[in-house]
Amino acid sequence: MKRTLMLLSALCIFVFSCDLSAQSNPTDTLVAFSIKKEAIENSKVMDLLNVLTNVIGPRLTNSKGMAAANVWSQKTLASYGLKTQVEPWGEFGRGWDVKSFRAAVTAPYAFQLIAYPKAWSPATNGVVKGKILYINEKSLDELKAKYAGKLKNTIILLGEKIKVEPSFEAAAKRRTDSELLAMANASEEKEARTSWRIQFRSSPGYATYVERLKIFSWVNEQQPAIILDGGTSSTRMQSRNSGVVTVQSANVSLVDGSDIFGRNNPKPYDVKPPFIAPQVTMAAEQFNQIVEIIRSGKDVVFECELQVEWQTKDTKGYNTIAEWEGTDLKDEVVMIGAHMDSWHGSTGATDNAVGCAVMMEAVRILKQLDIKPRRTIRVGLWSAEEQGLLGSRHYVENHLKDSVSTKHGYEKFSVYYNLDNGGGQIRGIHMQGNNGAAPLFRQWLEPFRVWNVSTISLEKTGSTDHVAFDEAGLPGFQFIQDPLEYEPKTWHTNMDNYDHVIPQDMQRNAAIIAYFAYQSAMRDEKIPRK
């Protein structure tokens, strides 16, 4: 009785302080207020984030860090009263951890490098020390004519000098009203992030990029001691500057250089990959510094030692799955999720420990409020998102729909909500062309209008785990978020750490997702499908 009186008192305060014109159900209004109150005043979300990032550290798929994150998330969600398991989804490949790494230039003068080994790079053969050979030939034929038979056991600096320019705008930003209005007015056909590969194939730079990949493949096959670059291997971005380094996967010689996205191309985490030279990426400014020293006619002496540890006993991939059983509609499922794997140059805070911490906090909030969901609420914390949404795709194939047929749970599945565009506050939701769900979501966002959360956009977005559900014909959604410094500074870089996350944004995100999960679990019908 005391708790009920407190909630009713809080509701009265809420009624006088907020516009409730779109909130026709008093119960929903009370729940929205209670969720927001718990999310802000008793938040645990930054504590969860701290464990995932600072305590556990990087979580490359099948690494020791990822295994620790699976165990911790399972135990934590179980402590909230959920039924949990670390579930294998299929074969992935070798795990990889850095034991020790150092890299420096020792002559013509000494300086420490801002440098990182690429994921799944082999160890060096002890300490590698010697003169750097700079290779910047534009064609494979030219390269072969000059260096055939001369590259084995050499230290190679590969690639063009990187353009570094001053930034006259702040790295972090919120979405403006005009940007959100443009998203709200966008048509279903406009796809914000799903078609970049198609666009890249038709771009003027594609042929040059393919030629560079062919050059890398040939250089790698000559078995050099190590290959160094300035972090320009990504197709969607230029190299960052100011000491921010993009740290991703070791490159592997391609089976077919004409199809750089081919699924048959070998992966560095394969159990038995082709030869891979040790690979290190460094800050753009230091890459350019070395190039200029060499161009001046002086030798640059480089020294490096990389020790790694391979995990080969268990090559399966794993997701953490947690379930809160519903009541009268318990056979139907509402699912929320985010990917827990990360790159290794930092602790993967904005990509995507923030998403995992928010999802865990959302169910903690609902549990704390003693909500009795009608549908089962399920949490999925995925692995191998960075390698192609593998954890979520295999989950869908194993439990919902594969290439042949639908599974038992397909018709009972209501909706999946995902968070994976950095640490910025939610400002709305991408509808993936699902017009039928728009009126529901517009109403559910209303309690959060005071936080400037209201945008409903028909445009599709890709490259996150909701795609696995959407492509299976299930309602799968990614929220619209403020970009903050995600693309220019933290996405896949050595700066992706805890200090670049804003607590208030995390608290608000947890409240919004908790309310969406609540509403989806309590309504009479499942979420409409396209």
pLDDT, one tens digit per residue, over 307-334 is 999 999 999 999 999 999 999 999 999 9
* pLDDT of residue 237 exceeding 90: no
What digits encode the pLDDT tens for the residues 503-515? Answer: 999 999 999 999 9
Residue 341: per-residue pLDDT: 98
Q: Which residue has the higher pLDDT, 343 or 191?
A: 343
Residue 457: per-residue pLDDT: 94
Residue 426: per-residue pLDDT: 98
Q: Lowest-confidence range among 6-20, 39-53, 420-434?
A: 6-20
Q: Where are the alpha helices (DSSP H) in 26-120?
A: 26-41, 45-50, 64-79
Q: Which residues of 492-525 are buried (b: 16+ CB within 10 A; e: fewer)?
A: bbbbbbbebbbeebbbbbbbbbbbbbbbbbbbee
CB 8 within 8 A of CB 1: no
Calculate the CA 255 to chain-centre distance: 27
Question: Average per-residue pLDDT in the chain?
Answer: 91
* pLDDT of residue 453 exceeding 90: yes
Counting every residue written for the chain, the total comes to: 530
Mean pLDDT across the stretch 83-105?
98
CB 518 within 8 A of CB 370: no
* pLDDT of residue 130 exceeding 70: yes
3-state secondary structure string across 120-188: CCCCCCCCEEEEEEEECCCCHHHHHHHHCCCCCCCEEEECCCCCCCCCCCCCCECCCHHHHHHHHHCCC
Instruction: Return the percentage of the chain with pLDDT > 70, whole number.
Output: 89
* pLDDT of residue 235 exceeding 50: no
Confidence band of 242 (pLDDT split at 50, 70, 90) = confident
Mean pLDDT across the stretch 431-456?
95
Structure tokens at 492: 């896949």
Closest CA to 428 of 480, 476, 464, 477: 480
Q: Which residues contact 330 (CB under 8 A, 6 or more apart)?
A: 374, 375, 376
Residue 207: per-residue pLDDT: 81
Q: Alpha-carbon torsion 489, 490, 496, 501, what sign?
A: positive
Q: Lowest-confidence range among 34-43, 206-215, 378-387?
A: 206-215
- Compute the radius of gyration of the chain from its Cα atoms: 25
Number of C-beta neighbours around residue 214 at 10 A? 19
Bridge partners, residue 104, by sequence: 112, 303
Confidence band of 261 (pLDDT split at 50, 70, 90) = low
Q: Where are the alpha helices (DSSP H) in 413-462?
A: 438-445
Mean pLDDT across the stretch 191-214?
70
- The pTM for the full model equals 0.92
Structure tokens at 172: 């972090």
CB-based burial label for 39 (10 Å; 0-12, 13-18, 19+): buried
Residue 9: per-residue pLDDT: 45
* pLDDT of residue 377 exceeding 60: yes
3-class secondary-structure state, position 322 = strand
Mean pLDDT across the stretch 90-95?
98
Residue 104: per-residue pLDDT: 98
Residue 189: per-residue pLDDT: 54
**What letter would DSSP give residue 246?**
B
Mean pLDDT across the stretch 328-352?
98
* Domains, the chain, ordered by start: 34-92+315-522 (3.40.630.10), 95-185+195-311 (3.50.30.30)
Closest CA to 385 of 317, 465, 316, 265: 465
Mean pLDDT across the stretch 132-141?
94
Residue 170: per-residue pLDDT: 87
Dist CA 85 CA 318 (whole Å):
10
Instruction: Return the percentage of the chain with pLDDT > 90, whole number.
Output: 80
Residue 208: per-residue pLDDT: 81
* pLDDT of residue 194 exceeding 50: no
CB 392 within 8 A of CB 380: yes
What digits encode the pLDDT tens for the residues 269-311? Answer: 999 999 999 999 999 999 999 999 999 999 999 999 999 999 9
**What letter would DSSP give residue 471?**
T
Dist CA 440 CA 448 (whole Å):
14
Q: Where are the alpha helices (DSSP H) in 335-436?
A: 354-368, 390-399
* pLDDT of residue 12 exceeding 60: no
Q: Which residues contact 402 (CB under 8 A, 6 or more apart)?
A: none
Dist CA 252 CA 235 (whole Å):
15
CB 65 within 8 A of CB 59: yes
Residue 159: per-residue pLDDT: 93
The region, left, alpha or beta by phi > 0 then psi within -120 to 50, assigned to residue 130 is left
Q: Lowest-confidence range among 186-200, 313-327, 368-382?
A: 186-200
